[in-house]
């Protein structure tokens, strides 16, 4: 265990990011609740963020993305917030129109 | 400490033990703080209302009253309603307490006396205080009671709204000082009271009151205590709680009050720098004298924060409660525009180099301007070295900031 | 001034389910055991249904098994915040049946005591109203002063809350020596305290925001629903039984100069001493009801002062209670008096024995409460507490 | 002895484990409120990972915007639509098997990719010597947003040196985007139903 702990590298961060990504994708695929799908998207974005941060971290590598990694992560966070607002609005609108938030039932093309 | 334990056990155990001890110590601080504030609230409320408050427990002044209350709460049955979502219901108080406790981590008590020296501590504090709402929302949802649900919904709407002006108010001192580090901001206000940021210009003076209003709202105190409005929602989000879990909500509330007051003290009232620089020379002397000066500064800071809490208590026992629409209106119609106006005003004041009281009282610029973040100094060095255009730009920026 | 009866469209952004909430019978702001069944849409209340009867004690039926003097303690427990006024109403009703003429001194004692009871009752109403709006301190300030009145009552009759002091035939005892001076001393120190109340509540910006324009009872509506007391006068109806009532009751106040507290041309009598009506307030809203109560306290103080003078000037007997087993003449009587919460009526039918054949009480709070359903439709959850509080109900009187 | 275990590694494992466990919790819980709760803890733990990697501003941002803002909004949405038939929406077993298979395969591929690049999985020897005031402070980030790169003072490319490597343009674009999104969201969730309310308290 100690050996593992001593050698945290970018790859470890990437592994966590990958786990986030896969969980998020599975959430998007399996959840029937629209808000559950939204949470899946958040997880995916967070996984990507983790990768950017890892590549930008000066603790982990000699040559890094520098501030770029952090800035891109920042932009992702901001966009995720915006996306969540829109998605929530869509979900509520969907709920108003269909009286359900089960995305499986939203297969008709009218509001 | 970890090194000490490492002699007797494996390294990971030593770390874990060390962490546990530190956590226990800080929790004790939170607990004792809550004990004191609850006692103080009862005493102050009593005095305000022509009563004595607790008088018996622990001899004089009833100073052991909160301890007695705590013992009673611990021995109380821990009930969960049949309709409750058991897991979330049990977890919610901890979710509420944890962020408010974590906020203490980045709050400096004196120059360098901080649990975790983080460069973005203002932002971190505001962010982590915003998380406290989750406990309340979860409690509201998980209780399986309609009153609790009302409380949770109100809290969600209120806190999300008030985070906006609160952040705007917090950002003004950040811009004036050019740093997000609370330690640096505190050090920049050394010297006489005129160097405090609240007296920097009329806008900062104004924005403090906006900050205080929003802080009261964000820690869910009267007249903004809609989530627990006892005359409307019985007890709001903690209607169904009893015993120790109930008291966790209160520990979180009192601790948050202390943190927002402490934040106000650092951002606007010079933190550990008193109205009169008594200990400045001691501080400069270094060694043991410096520790004494820091200790005095720490007491100074705690005094200011406690004063802020006392004002909140005073307000709570004086004013009626606002209605939910009025709370949101207060935020969106008054606090946000005022904060934005003060934000622009304070920056313009700084940009136009208009005078602040400190200029004519103590023209010695040893205060704010001398304190700089390390990267600025290095950037200035770099600018001298290379003379590239980017560095010039930066040097100009650093110059402006000064 | 905002107009009453304005239509407002509340837009709902999300279709939410109706939430059925039980407010009470164990709820902090329903003043006892009132149960309001609320249908809410989020924070907006769409329907309110008051349920009463949780405090029913068959007081009227008991009255048909006791002699009128024995029933006096039961009237105490109707409006337990204004027990003296309840005693008075019943006593006057019985005296009306008996045709009993009251000695001068007893009349003034009754006026003093009844008006002190009115002050005590309004103090509770004011304090608990602050509590409904979420401020605790005025409640204790009000109770502090009320305690002093209760001390005075205790000295007079030995009881603080359920006094049973005024009885058919007069009162149970003369005012003790030195009592009048104590009463005057109390009034002297009490007048400046009222200014405190105005600072803390009446003129407080948040208080005005919470009450002005909320729960507006129009003049017609107040009359239609049979509202009485401060609720009626708060809607601008100039009606006070102390002036407009039956002769048997109004003659009690003969010689007393007082003006009915009602708004005329945007002004209240004696409001020059106090903060003017705020521009947000609409006649008939919670603020006006509250203000009427506050001014009635001042009015009652003046009446008590007058009463003390009259009492000092009067001579003769203080009026003795009738015998317990006094035979009642055959017949029926009904008499309404102006209690702090409105017009309290007592109805008595006698078959000639010492025990009434039929006893009924007309509750003022019951009528006042009936407005709730219409008043709370479409208001916010927090307004329900504000509106019900402003009606100042006592469940003991409604349920009897 | 303590050199065998460093704080960074210990905390990394701690945060990574909590983050992953709660992320799995989001996936496997069927109750929407519990999902939200798990997501909060998961994203909070990943903020811890950000702090650990030295990105303190981004970590605080994550806490403030993501956890404090977005998720409160989400929970709000959950509560608005929280009726019992929506609270628990189960996915049928066939979908589970299929998705877990696909997900497992995807995870394998990603992990393989993550650990296969030697530059990525070699530990950084000089980590203890790193002093990163620049990235820890918010000021360089703010400077980068206005077009000045503090960390690239030695940049030789004249075009990049002239402020082109900053983030002024994306920053403005994102701001406009946010504005548009807010307006759009408000439009989407606009009132569809109006209740005529008679006599508001009057």
Q: What is the pLDDT of residues A16-50, one digit of tens each?
A: 898 899 999 888 888 877 788 888 888 899 999 88
Q: Do B141 and B103 reside in the same domain of the chain?
A: yes
Q: Do B14 and B88 reside in the same domain of the chain?
A: no
Question: Which among B298, B344, B310, B279 has a CA at the least distance from the CA of B186?
Answer: B298
Q: Is B340 helix (H, G, I), strand (E, B) or coil?
A: helix
Among B33-42, B290-299, C200-209, D188-197, where is mean pLDDT lowest?
D188-197
Question: Which among A58, A37, A39 has a CA at the least distance from the CA of A106?
Answer: A37
| Distance of residue B351 Cα from the nearest chain A Cα, in angstroms | 27
Residues of A in contact with B11 (CB under 8 A): 2
Across C212-233, average pLDDT: 88
| Distance of residue C399 Cα from the nearest chain B Cα, in angstroms | 23
The percentage of chain C sitting over the pLDDT mark of 70, rounded to a whole number, equals 95
Residues of C in contact with A95 (CB under 8 A): 14-15
Q: Is the pLDDT at C260 greater than 70, yes or no?
A: yes
Is residue B373 very low, low, confident or very high in pLDDT (cuts 50, 70, 90)? low
Query: Does C48 map to a domain?
Result: no
Query: Does B365 map to a domain?
Result: no
Question: Which among C297, C299, C284 has a CA at the least distance from the CA of C391?
Answer: C284
pLDDT single digits (tens) B265-277: 998 888 888 787 7
- Chain B CB within 8 Å of residue D72 CB: yes
Q: Judge if the upstream peptide bond of residue B223 is cis by omega within 30 degrees of 0.
A: yes
Query: How much is the mean pLDDT over chain B?
Result: 80
Collect contacts of C357-364 with beta carbons under 8 A, ≥24 apart. C357/C64, C358/C64, C358/C332, C359/C60, C359/C63, C359/C64, C359/C71, C360/C60, C361/C59, C361/C60, C361/C75, C361/C78, C361/C400, C362/C336, C363/C78, C363/C397, C363/C398, C363/C400, C364/C228, C364/C229, C364/C339, C364/C397
Per-domain residue ranges of chain A: 2-100
pLDDT in the model for residue C200: 85
pLDDT in the model for residue C119: 92
Q: Is the pLDDT at B327 greater than 70, yes or no?
A: yes
Interface contact A92-D81, CB threshold 8 A: yes
- Chain B CB within 8 Å of residue C384 CB: yes
Q: Is the pLDDT at B193 greater than 50, yes or no?
A: yes
Query: How much is the mean pLDDT over chain D?
Result: 74
Residue of D nearest to A1 (CA): D5
- Chain B CB within 8 Å of residue A1 CB: yes
Among A15-29, C244-258, D120-134, D158-172, where is mean pLDDT lowest?
D120-134
Partner residue opposite B133 with nearest CB, options D56, D72, D154: D72
User: For chain C, percent helix, then strand, then coil, each to nearest 5?
Assistant: 50, 15, 40
- Asked whether the beta carbons of C217 and C390 are under 8 A apart, the reply is no
Token pair belonging to B347? 């920056």
Q: Is the pLDDT at B358 greater than 80, yes or no?
A: no
Query: Does C351 map to a domain?
Result: yes
Q: Is the pLDDT at D121 greater than 50, yes or no?
A: yes
Is residue D153 very low, low, confident or very high in pLDDT (cuts 50, 70, 90)? low
pLDDT single digits (tens) C153-211: 998 888 888 888 888 888 888 888 888 899 999 999 998 888 888 888 888 888 888 88
Looking at residue D101, the DSSP 8-state letter turns out to be: H
The DSSP-derived string for B149-180 is HHHHHHHHHHHHHHHHHHHHHHHHHHHHHT--
Query: Does B13 map to a domain?
Result: yes
- Chain D CB within 8 Å of residue C209 CB: no
Residues of C in contact with D185 (CB under 8 A): none
User: Is ipTM beyond 0.85?
Assistant: no
Is residue C150 very low, low, confident or very high in pLDDT (cuts 50, 70, 90)? very high
Binding-face residues of B in 11-40 toward A, CB within 8 A:
11-12
Which CATH number is C174's domain given?
1.10.645.10
- Number of other residues whose CB lies within 10 A of the CB of residue C148: 18
Number of CB pairs, chain A paired with chain B, less than 8 A apart: 4
Maximum average pLDDT range among A28-42, B103-117, C330-344: C330-344
- Identify the domain containing residue C142 by its residue range: 59-399
pLDDT in the model for residue D191: 59
Give the Cα separation of B133 and B73 in Å (integer): 23
The percentage of chain B sitting over the pLDDT mark of 90, rounded to a whole number, equals 4
Query: Does C348 map to a domain?
Result: yes
Is residue D162 very low, low, confident or very high in pLDDT (cuts 50, 70, 90)? low
| Bridge partner list, C50 | C36
Q: Tell the CATH topology of A2-100.
A: Helix Hairpins (1.10.287)
Cα within 13 Å of Cα(D177), Cβ side: 16
Residue in C8, C281, C382 to test binding to D, most D beta-carbons within 10 Å: C8
How many structural domains are present in chain C? 1
Partner residue opposite B131 with nearest CB, options D63, D155, D161: D63
Q: Is the pLDDT at B42 greater than 80, yes or no?
A: yes
Across D147-168, average pLDDT: 67
Q: Is the pLDDT at D40 greater than 80, yes or no?
A: yes
How many structural domains are present in chain B? 3
Per-domain residue ranges of chain D: 1-87, 137-189
The DSSP-derived string for B345-379 is HHHHHHHTT---HHHHH---TTTTTT---HHHHHH
Q: Do B394 and B247 reside in the same domain of the chain?
A: no
Query: Does B1 map to a domain?
Result: no
Residues of C in contact with D193 (CB under 8 A): 11-12, 15
- Asked whether the beta carbons of A17 and D115 are under 8 A apart, the reply is no
pLDDT in the model for residue B372: 54
pLDDT single digits (tens) B215-227: 998 888 878 888 7
Name residue, tokens 């009067």: C314
Q: Is the pLDDT at B137 greater than 60, yes or no?
A: yes
Q: Do B301 and B400 reside in the same domain of the chain?
A: no
Query: How much is the mean pLDDT over chain C?
Result: 84
Interface contact A75-D170, CB threshold 8 A: yes
Q: Is the pLDDT at C4 greater than 50, yes or no?
A: no
- Asked whether the beta carbons of B283 and B201 are under 8 A apart, the reply is no
Q: Is the pLDDT at C389 greater than 60, yes or no?
A: yes
Across C95-116, average pLDDT: 87
Is residue C9 very low, low, confident or very high in pLDDT (cuts 50, 70, 90)? very low
Give the Cα separation of C231 and C245 in Å (integer): 17
Give the Cα separation of C90 and A73 in Å (integer): 80
Q: Is the pLDDT at A3 greater than 60, yes or no?
A: no
pLDDT in the model for residue D152: 65
Q: Is the pLDDT at B255 greater than 60, yes or no?
A: yes
Across B336-350, average pLDDT: 88
pLDDT in the model for residue B146: 82
Q: Is the pLDDT at B310 greater than 70, yes or no?
A: yes
pLDDT in the model for residue D96: 80
Q: Do B291 and B163 reside in the same domain of the chain?
A: yes
- Identify the domain containing residue B44 by its residue range: 9-75
Return the CATH number of the domain spanning residue range D1-87.
1.20.120.1200
Give the Cα separation of C361 and C347 in Å (integer): 6
Q: Is the pLDDT at D196 greater than 70, yes or no?
A: no
| Distance of residue B168 Cα from the nearest chain A Cα, in angstroms | 17
| Distance of residue A110 Cα from the nearest chain B Cα, in angstroms | 31
Across B26-52, average pLDDT: 83
pLDDT in the model for residue A74: 85
Interface contact B322-C210, CB threshold 8 A: yes
pLDDT in the model for residue D154: 64
pLDDT in the model for residue D33: 80
pLDDT in the model for residue D201: 40
Interface contact C385-B231, CB threshold 8 A: yes
- For chain C, list the contacting chains (3+ Cβ pairs, <8 Å): A, B, D
Query: Does B2 map to a domain?
Result: no
């Amino acid at each position: 265990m100690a050996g593992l702990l001593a050698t945290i590298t970018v790859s470890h961060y990437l592994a966590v990011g990958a786990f986030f990504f896969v969980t998020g994708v599975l959430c998007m695929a399996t959840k029937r609740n629209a808000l559950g799908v939204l949470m899946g998207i958040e997880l995916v974005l967070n996984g990507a963020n983790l990768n950017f941060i890892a590549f930008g971290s000066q603790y982990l590598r000699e040559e890094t993305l520098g501030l770029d990694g952090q800035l891109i992560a920042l932009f992702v966070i901001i966009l995720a917030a915006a996306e969540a607002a829109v998605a929530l609005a869509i979900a509520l609108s969907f709920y108003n129109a269909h009286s359900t938030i089960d995305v499986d039932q939203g297969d008709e093309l009218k509001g | 400490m970890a090194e000490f334990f490492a002699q007797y056990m494996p390294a990971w155990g030593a770390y874990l033990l060390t962490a546990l001890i530190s956590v226990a110590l800080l929790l004790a601080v939170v607990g004792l703080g809550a004990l004191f504030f609850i006692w103080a609230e009862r005493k102050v409320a009593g005095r305000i209302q022509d009563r004595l408050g607790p008088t018996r427990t622990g001899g004089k002044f009833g100073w052991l009253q909160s301890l007695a209350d705590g013992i009673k709460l611990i021995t109380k049955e821990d009930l969960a309603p049949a309709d409750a979502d058991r897991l979330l219901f049990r977890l919610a108080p901890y979710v509420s307490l944890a962020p408010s406790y974590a906020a203490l981590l980045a709050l400096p008590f004196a120059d360098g006396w901080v649990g975790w020296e983080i460069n973005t501590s203002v932002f971190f504090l505001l962010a982590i205080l915003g998380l406290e709402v989750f406990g309340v929302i979860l409690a509201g949802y998980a209780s399986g009671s309609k009153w609790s649900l009302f409380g949770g919904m109100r809290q969600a709407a209120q806190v999300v709204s008030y985070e906006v002006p609160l952040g705007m108010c917090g950002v003004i001192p950040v811009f004036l000082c050019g740093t997000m580090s609370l330690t640096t901001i505190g050090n920049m206000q050394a010297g006489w009271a005129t160097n405090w940021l609240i007296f920097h210009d009329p806008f900062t003076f104004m924005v403090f009151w906006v900050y205080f209003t929003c802080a009261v709202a964000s820690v869910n105190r009267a007249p903004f205590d809609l989530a627990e409005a006892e005359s409307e929602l019985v007890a709001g989000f903690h209607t169904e709680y009893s015993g120790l879990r109930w008291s966790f909500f209160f520990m979180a509330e009192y601790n948050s009050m202390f943190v927002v007051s402490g934040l106000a003290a650092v951002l606007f009232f010079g933190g550990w720098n008193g109205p009169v620089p008594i200990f400045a020379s001691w501080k400069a002397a270094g060694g043991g004298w410096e520790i004494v000066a820091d200790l005095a500064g720490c007491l100074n800071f705690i005094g200011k924060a406690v004063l802020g809490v006392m004002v909140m208590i005073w307000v709570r026992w004086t004013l009626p409660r606002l209605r939910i629409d009025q709370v949101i209106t207060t935020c969106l119609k008054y606090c946000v525009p005022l904060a934005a106006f003060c934000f622009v005003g304070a920056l313009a004041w700084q940009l136009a180099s208009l005078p602040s009281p400190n200029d004519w009282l103590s023209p010695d610029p040893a205060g704010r301007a001398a304190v700089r973040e390390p990267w600025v100094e290095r950037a200035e060095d770099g600018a001298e070295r290379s003379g590239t255009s980017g560095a010039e730009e930066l040097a100009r920026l650093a110059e402006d900031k000064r | 001034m905002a107009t009453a009866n304005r239509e407002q469209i509340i837009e709902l952004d999300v279709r939410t389910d109706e939430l059925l909430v039980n407010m009470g019978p164990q709820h902090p702001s329903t003043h006892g055991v009132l149960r309001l069944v609320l249908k809410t849409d989020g924070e907006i209340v769409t329907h309110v249904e008051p349920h009463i009867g949780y405090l029913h004690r068959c007081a009227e039926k008991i009255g048909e098994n006791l002699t009128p003097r024995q029933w006096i303690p039961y009237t105490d427990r109707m409006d337990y915040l204004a027990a003296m006024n309840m005693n008075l109403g019943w006593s006057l009703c019985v005296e009306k049946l008996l045709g009993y003429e009251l000695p001068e001194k007893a009349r003034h004692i009754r006026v003093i005591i009844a008006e002190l009871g009115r002050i005590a009752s309004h103090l509770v109403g004011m304090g608990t109203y602050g509590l409904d709006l979420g401020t605790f301190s005025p409640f204790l300030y009000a109770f502090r002063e009320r305690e002093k009145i209760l001390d005075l009552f205790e000295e007079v009759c030995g009881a603080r809350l359920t006094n049973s002091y005024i009885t058919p035939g007069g009162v149970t005892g003369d005012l003790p020596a030195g009592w009048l001076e104590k009463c005057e001393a109390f009034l002297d120190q009490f007048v400046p305290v009222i200014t405190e109340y105005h600072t803390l509540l009446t003129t407080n910006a948040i208080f005005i925001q919470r009450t002005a324009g909320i729960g507006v009872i129009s003049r017609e509506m107040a009359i239609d629903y049979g509202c009485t007391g401060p609720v009626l006068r708060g809607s601008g109806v100039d009606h006070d039984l102390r002036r407009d009532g039956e002769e048997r009751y109004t003659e009690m106040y003969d010689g007393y100069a007082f003006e009915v507290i009602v708004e005329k041309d945007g002004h209240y009598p004696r409001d020059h001493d106090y903060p003017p009506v705020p521009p947000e307030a609409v006649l008939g809203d919670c603020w006006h009801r509250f203000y009427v109560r506050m001014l009635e306290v001042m009015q009652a103080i003046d009446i008590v002062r007058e009463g003390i003078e009259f009492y000092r000037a009067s001579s003769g007997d203080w009026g003795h209670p009738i015998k317990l087993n006094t035979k009642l003449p055959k017949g029926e009587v009904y008499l309404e008096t102006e209690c702090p919460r409105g017009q309290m009526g007592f109805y008595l039918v006698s078959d000639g024995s010492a025990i009434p054949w039929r006893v009924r009480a007309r509750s003022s709070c019951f009528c006042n409460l009936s407005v709730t359903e219409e008043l709370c439709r479409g208001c916010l959850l927090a307004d329900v507490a504000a509106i019900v509080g402003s009606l100042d109900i006592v469940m003991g009187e409604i349920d009897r | 002895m303590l050199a065998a275990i460093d704080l960074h590694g210990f905390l990394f494992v701690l945060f990574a484990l909590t983050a992953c466990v709660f992320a799995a919790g989001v996936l496997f819980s069927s109750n929407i409120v519990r999902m939200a709760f798990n997501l909060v803890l998961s994203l909070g733990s990943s903020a811890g990972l950000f702090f650990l990697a030295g990105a303190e501003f981004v970590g605080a941002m994550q806490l403030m915007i993501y956890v404090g803002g977005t998720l409160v909004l989400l929970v709000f949405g959950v509560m608005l639509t929280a009726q019992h038939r929506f609270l628990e929406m189960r996915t049928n077993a066939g979908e589970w098997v299929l998705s877990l298979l696909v997900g497992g395969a995807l995870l394998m591929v990603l992990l393989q990719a993550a650990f296969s690049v030697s530059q990525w999985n070699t530990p950084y020897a000089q980590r203890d010597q790193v002093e990163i005031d620049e990235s820890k402070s918010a000021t360089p980030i703010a400077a980068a947003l206005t077009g000045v790169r503090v960390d690239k003072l030695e940049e030789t490319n004249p075009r990049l040196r002239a402020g082109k490597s900053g983030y002024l343009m994306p920053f403005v674009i994102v701001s406009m985007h946010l504005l548009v999104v807010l307006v759009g969201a408000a439009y989407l969730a606009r009132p569809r139903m109006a209740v005529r309310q008679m006599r508001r308290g009057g």
